[in-house]
């Protein structure tokens, strides 16, 4: 009876995910959708790109180069903020306006402090920009990326326009885990819901965020989210009350950061997974049970169960396979990876438990030799979820 109940629950969860969660799995929110305004009809606003960089000497040059090659028709400036790198990041960034961030104050994460310092420099410019492009040091842009970002922001009057950069998918670990990562992110934050003003869902992808400067100032600026480990989604929550936001998939904007092994991916996920759960043991327990029922139970019941439980487990596993196909096609990997989705989800669950364990040990949020305990937005006075 217990097996039948779990199998039925798994089927019900996948039926809900497929039919009632904003169609997240279809991946239809993309930056290649048509816009009503042509480039010839636009007045192009002033944009400043801010790149916080810490020990990124091997890749930041490529990011800067692709930004400097943009075919954008308006005024565009690139600023790199060196976040106390121990390598040659600042030297590689010499072609742009490279700044050195001041010493990190208490209560700030390093990335956000670097972004804040970059924005502070922007405030000293003779002509203030209309938009800030907040991007990472590992992002490669197609030549028309900024043009299309700005065109969408202006046409749709967006205060935040974000694109989920196409993650590198070369190594075996990347082919296994990167499509699943995007799938899980879309499941947590259905992109169609992000853009709806009647939904509280707010999310962004930190690799590429075009922000209306005045809206950011009105919302309280970067200081309002200064301690956040998941800073992109925190920024989206901060800005959504100020106006429309958008999040979509893209082929124009790509991450060049390599994850050559499962260990590389584990460290990245473990850095902030527990923060996603707001450092709550209860949320962790619920998430663990949900992951087991949703992803692990279907194949176990389909292979080892009997009767109704086996049939329902197989049906849930089929639904999981159907849901995974669009993201697998987007990343041009074999559709057979769908069979491994339960094992991949199990690995992500282990990474999440590891994240909680590291937090309890006081080593959570470690990145590039620096540990951040992090906060949730509800812990910062005046900024609730």
Nearest-angstrom CA–CA distance, 54 and 367: 10
Tell me the C-alpha distance between 17 and 359, whole Å: 30
pLDDT at 374: 52
360 falls within a domain? yes
Three-class secondary structure assignment of 44-109 = CCCEEEEEEECCCCCCHHHHHHHHHCCCCCCCEEEEEEECCCCCCHHHHHHHCEEEECCCCCCCCC
pLDDT at 383: 34
Taking the chain, what is the end-to-end CA distance rounded to the nearest angstrom?
Answer: 39
Residue 361 in domain: yes
Provide the pairing of β-strand 208-212 with 158-166.
antiparallel
Q: Do residues 53 and 137 both lie within one domain?
A: yes
Which pLDDT score is estimated for 369? 54
What the block records as the tokens of 46 is: 């002033």
Please give the mean pLDDT across all residues of the chain.
90
Position 382 scores a pLDDT of 33
Are 208 and 234 members of one domain? yes
Q: Are residues 255 and 281 in the same domain?
A: no
- Neighbouring CB atoms inside 10 A of 253's CB total 25
pLDDT in tens, 117-146: 999 999 999 999 999 999 999 999 999 999
pLDDT of residue 367: 54
Residues 347, 291 share a domain: yes
351 shares a domain with 247? no
Q: Would you say 92 and 80 are in contact if contact means Cβ atoms under 8 Å apart?
A: no
Distance CA 341, CA 21 (A): 19
16 occurs within a structural domain? yes
Shared domain for 248 and 171, answered yes or no, is: yes
- Would residue 385 count as lying in a domain? no
**Is residue 370 located within the same domain as residue 287?**
yes
224 in a structural domain: yes
- Spell out the long-range contacts of 289-295 with Cβ–Cβ below 8 A and sequence spacing 24 or more: 290/13, 291/345, 291/346, 291/348, 291/349, 292/349, 293/6, 293/9, 293/10, 293/13, 294/10, 294/13, 294/14, 294/345, 295/320, 295/341, 295/342, 295/345, 295/346, 295/349
Separation of alpha carbons 184 and 180, rounded Å = 6
Backbone angles phi, psi at 212, to 5 degrees: -70, 120
pLDDT reported for residue 373: 54
* Number of folded domains that form the chain: 2
Which residues of the chain are under the pLDDT cut of 70?
34, 36-40, 89-90, 93-98, 364-385
Instruction: Read off the pLDDT of residues 269-318 as tens digits, 9 standing for 90 and up.
Output: 998 899 999 999 999 999 999 999 999 999 999 999 999 999 999 999 99
Q: Which domain holds residue 120?
A: 44-262
206 and 235 in a single domain? The answer is: yes
**How many other CB atoms sit within 10 Å of the CB of residue 196?**
13
Query: Of 206, 234, 262, which closes a domain?
Result: 262
Report if residue 32 sits inside a domain.
Answer: no
At 164 the pLDDT is 98
Which of 226, 246, 262 lies at the terminal end of a domain, its last residue?
262
Same domain (yes/no): 224, 295: no
Distance (Å, whole) CA 84 – CA 229: 18
The residue among 262, 278, 298 that closes a domain is 262
Residues 225, 119: one domain?
yes
Predicted confidence at residue 368, as pLDDT, reads 54
pLDDT at 376: 43
Q: Is residue 39 situated within a structural domain? A: no
pLDDT on residue 158? 98
- What is the domain-level CATH number for residue 214? 3.90.550.10
Residue 35 lies in a domain: no
State whether 100 and 213 are in the same domain: yes
pLDDT at 300: 97
How does pLDDT run across 8-40, given as a tens digit for each residue?
Answer: 999 999 999 999 999 999 999 999 876 766 666
113 and 170 housed in the same domain: yes
């Amino acid at each position: 009876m217990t097996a039948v109940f779990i199998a039925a629950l798994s089927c019900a969860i996948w039926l809900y995910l497929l039919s009632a969660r904003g169609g997240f799995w279809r991946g239809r929110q993309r930056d290649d959708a048509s816009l009503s305004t042509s480039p010839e009809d636009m007045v192009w606003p002033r944009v400043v790109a801010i790149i916080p960089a810490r020990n990124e000497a091997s890749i930041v040059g490529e990011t800067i180069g692709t930004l400097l090659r943009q075919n954008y028709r308006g005024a565009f400036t690139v600023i790199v903020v060196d976040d106390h790198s121990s390598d040659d990041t600042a030297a590689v960034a010499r072609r742009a306006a490279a700044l050195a961030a001041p010493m990190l104050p208490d209560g700030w994460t390093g990335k956000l402090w670097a972004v804040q310092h970059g924005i502070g420099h922007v405030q000293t410019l003779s002509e203030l920009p209309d938009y800030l492009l907040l991007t990472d040091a590992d992002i490669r842009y197609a030549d028309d990326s900024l043009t299309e970002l700005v065109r969408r922001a202006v046409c749709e009057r967006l205060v935040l326009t974000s694109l989920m950069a196409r993650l590198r998918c070369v190594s075996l670990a990347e082919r296994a885990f990167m499509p699943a990562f995007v799938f899980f992110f879309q499941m947590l934050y259905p992109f169609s819901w992000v853009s709806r003003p009647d939904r509280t869902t707010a999310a962004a992808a930190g690799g590429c965020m075009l922000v209306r400067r005045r809206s950011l100032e009105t919302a309280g600026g970067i200081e309002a989210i200064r301690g956040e480990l998941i800073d992109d989604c925190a920024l989206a929550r901060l800005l959504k009350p100020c106006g429309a936001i958008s999040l979509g998939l893209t082929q124009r904007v790509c991450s060049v950061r390599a994850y050559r092994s499962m260990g590389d991916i584990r460290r990245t996920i473990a850095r902030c997974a527990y923060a996603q759960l707001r450092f709550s043991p209860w949320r962790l327990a619920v998430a663990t049970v949900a992951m087991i029922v949703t992803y692990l139970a279907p194949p176990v019941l389909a292979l080892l169960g009997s009767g109704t439980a086996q049939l329902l487990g197989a049906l849930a596993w089929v639904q999981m396979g159907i849901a995974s196909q669009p993201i697998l096609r987007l990343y041009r990997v074999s559709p057979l990876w769908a069979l491994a989705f339960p094992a991949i989800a199990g690995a992500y669950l282990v990474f999440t438990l590891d994240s909680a364990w590291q937090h309890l040990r006081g080593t959570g949020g470690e990145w590039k030799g620096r540990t951040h305990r992090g906060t949730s937005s509800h812990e910062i006075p005046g900024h609730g979820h």
